[in-house]
Amino acid sequence: MNSVASAIQRLDALADSAPVARLAQAFAAAGRELALVGGPVRDAFLGRDLTDLDFTTDARPDEILRIVKPISETQWDIGREFGTIGAIIAGETVEITTYRADSYDPDSRKPTVEFGDTLEGDLARRDFSVNAMALRLPGRVLVDPSGGMDDLLAARLRTPGPPEVSFGDDPLRMLRAARFTSQLGFTAAPETVAAMAELAPRIEIVSVERVAAELTKLLMSAAPRAGIQLLVDTGLAELVLPEVPALRLEIDEHAHHKDVYEHSLTVLEQAIGYERSRGHEPDLVLRIAALLHDIGKPSTKRVEAGGAVSFHHHDVVGAKLAAKRLRALHFDKETITAVARLIELHLRFFGYTEGAWTDSAVRRYVRDAGPLLERLHILTRADVTTRNRRKADRLGFAYDDLEERIAAIAEAEGVAAVRPDLDGERIMEILGIRPGREVGEAYRFLLEMRLDEGPLGEVEAERRLRAWWAARA
């Protein structure tokens, strides 16, 4: 956490910036209150980037719009129903919201919005005390009615009022608690955790889209493990992502095997590490696949003769389960397809360590991964969590070798985009056929040759195609 003096300097600099100064002056001239609120105030003390500029005021939406129009390049009122007006001022995006109090009807998915009249009242209904601090403008007075500063110093996550009331009003705040433990590195207070466990079933009144958005933010945080563990420990994961707590397979004296839940969390952590070391931005598809890659194990678990445990075909089963869960959470089709494919392929490499692959097998590995190849590299490497150093080194060296072979074959053959030596137009021209099923069959024949033997050249490919066609006829 930054020093208080440093945080004050950052807030002063923000207050002096053109968009904030103009906004503060305009609201003061109109006789209205204005305060910078929530994330920017919190992040000034945490030393984090000050990004979202959120303000709150006693003015109602129509008046907010009248005040900001003369000083902004553009405005929008898509959040007017919730009291929010957005604008761009001096090139910066800002949002100004009327003091309010949200609450949920016990049977409703949508919050009931009630406008308030005081800053302190507005702060009291916010999710956590560290987000319930505000800087009054233009006077620059810090307002902290619920002890948010103390919680910042203690790296503690606590609601401004009783957590049962806060989570009862907006159950999504329970998922936010998990997200903030990961984003901020905070620990949820005991009473916060207890209320999450008690009120977990309330999450079912929240829309799937809001739940998915919160899970996405959690997974895209720097250290999602802590948040996921909090969801599992409080029973929330059973309701929003039940495949994860199901990974806590029973371990007994007759069927020893490693804890698949802990293994999956470690794979997620290691995948994030590879993301960074290989120069990639946070990747939602990769992170979901890392967390869910073994969710097929509980339903495929078998105790073999002698007490050994097997999970045959858990890759294929897991891919189907992941796709089903992501569809239920309303993820987009592209994400669902990519995650399922990664899970389906995540065991493919382990055959490489059992015997030398031919160039044909390497080409097929690349072909099957397609645009997911780099993600598959990371997921496969991250899936090695053994404490046996010799085994881990052997697997690491084997994958180094595979990547080197892929690079060499790609340089020699262009295997990164494996295609037959003849395209569909040329196939139809050579065989004198029209578009249809036979063109696809011919294309697949040439593709199999390309994978088996590498580039043949157009002349040889045409000779082979004609021979195949004649034998087929």
Tell the burial category of 319 from Cβ atoms under 10 Å away from its Cβ (0-12, 13-18, 19+).
buried
Return d(Cα 55, Cα 231) in angstroms, integer: 31
Predicted confidence at residue 255, as pLDDT, reads 46
Predicted confidence at residue 2, as pLDDT, reads 60
Return d(Cα 97, Cα 36) in angstroms, integer: 10
Q: Are 446 and 413 in contact (CB under 8 A)?
A: no
345 and 273 belong to one structural domain: yes
**Number of domains the chain is built from:** 4
Q: Are 178 and 184 in contact (CB under 8 A)?
A: no
Residue in the block written with tokens 């592209």:
334
Query: Residue 214 maps to which CATH number?
Result: 1.10.110.30
Our CA dihedral for 349, 352, 354, 355, rounded to 10 degrees, sits at: 160
336 and 412 belong to one structural domain: yes
Query: Both tokens of residue 287?
Result: 């992170």
Query: Both tokens of residue 20?
Result: 């904030």
Q: Which residues 6+ apart lie within 8 Å of 199 measured at CB?
A: 164, 167, 168, 171, 174
Query: Residue 280 maps to which CATH number?
Result: 1.10.3210
Q: Are 173 and 166 in contact (CB under 8 A)?
A: yes
5 and 109 belong to one structural domain: yes
Return d(Cα 188, Cα 416) in angstroms, integer: 47
Residue in the block written with tokens 């869960």:
325
- Please report, as a single letter, which amino acid is at residue 392: A
Helix H or strand E encompassing 176: helix 172-184
Q: Are 179 and 214 in contact (CB under 8 A)?
A: yes
Return d(Cα 122, Cα 143) in angstroms, integer: 11
120 and 87 belong to one structural domain: yes
Return per-residue pLDDT of the chain as tens, 473 residues. Answer: 566 778 888 889 999 999 999 999 999 999 999 999 988 899 988 888 887 899 999 999 999 999 999 999 999 987 788 889 999 999 999 999 999 865 556 666 566 678 888 999 999 989 999 999 999 999 999 999 999 999 999 999 999 999 999 998 899 999 999 999 999 999 999 999 999 999 999 999 999 999 999 999 999 999 999 999 999 999 999 999 999 999 987 554 444 456 899 999 999 999 999 999 999 999 999 999 999 999 999 988 888 877 777 888 899 999 999 999 999 999 999 999 999 999 999 998 877 766 678 888 888 888 889 889 999 999 999 999 888 888 888 888 888 888 888 888 877 766 555 678 888 888 899 988 888 888 888 888 888 888 778 888 888 888 988 999 988 87
Return d(Cα 463, Cα 469) in angstroms, integer: 10
Predicted confidence at residue 447, as pLDDT, reads 83
Query: Both tokens of residue 247?
Result: 């990974």
Domain stops at, among 154, 169, 191: 154
Query: Residue 127 maps to which CATH number?
Result: 3.30.460.10
CA dist 434 → 428, 431, 437, 471, 472 (Å)? 6, 9, 9, 19, 17
107 and 217 belong to one structural domain: no
Q: Which residues 6+ apart lie within 8 Å of 11 measured at CB?
A: 36, 41, 44, 135, 140
Beta bridge pairs of residue 101: 114
Predicted confidence at residue 354, as pLDDT, reads 64
370 and 445 belong to one structural domain: no
Domain stops at, among 100, 120, 154: 154
284 and 303 belong to one structural domain: yes
Q: Are 180 and 132 in contact (CB under 8 A)?
A: no
Could you give the angle at which helices 190-199 and 172-184 cross, rounded to 10 degrees?
A: 140
Predicted confidence at residue 107, as pLDDT, reads 62
287: region left, alpha or beta (phi > 0 left; psi from -120 to 50 alpha) = alpha
Tell the burial category of 315 from Cβ atoms under 10 Å away from its Cβ (0-12, 13-18, 19+).
buried
Phi, psi dihedrals of residue 134, rounded to the nearest 5°: -140, 155
Q: Are 169 and 105 in contact (CB under 8 A)?
A: no
334 and 302 belong to one structural domain: yes
Domain stops at, among 116, 134, 154: 154
Predicted confidence at residue 103, as pLDDT, reads 56
Predicted confidence at residue 254, as pLDDT, reads 42
Helix H or strand E encompassing 134: strand 134-137
116 and 63 belong to one structural domain: yes
Return d(Cα 266, Cα 260) in angstroms, integer: 10
Predicted confidence at residue 353, as pLDDT, reads 64
Quick count: other Cβ atoms within 10 Å of Cβ 280?
A: 14
Buried b (16+ CB within 10 A) or exposed e, 376-413: bbbbbbbbbeeeeeeeeeebeeebeebeebbeebbeee
Q: Which residues 6+ apart lie within 8 Å of 32 measured at CB?
A: 57, 58, 59, 63, 67
252 and 321 belong to one structural domain: yes
DSSP string, 379-425: HHHHT---S-HHHHHHHHHHHHHHHHHHHHHHHHH-GGG---SS-HH
Predicted confidence at residue 220, as pLDDT, reads 97
225 and 250 belong to one structural domain: no
226 and 278 belong to one structural domain: no
Q: Which domain holds residue 378?
A: 246-417
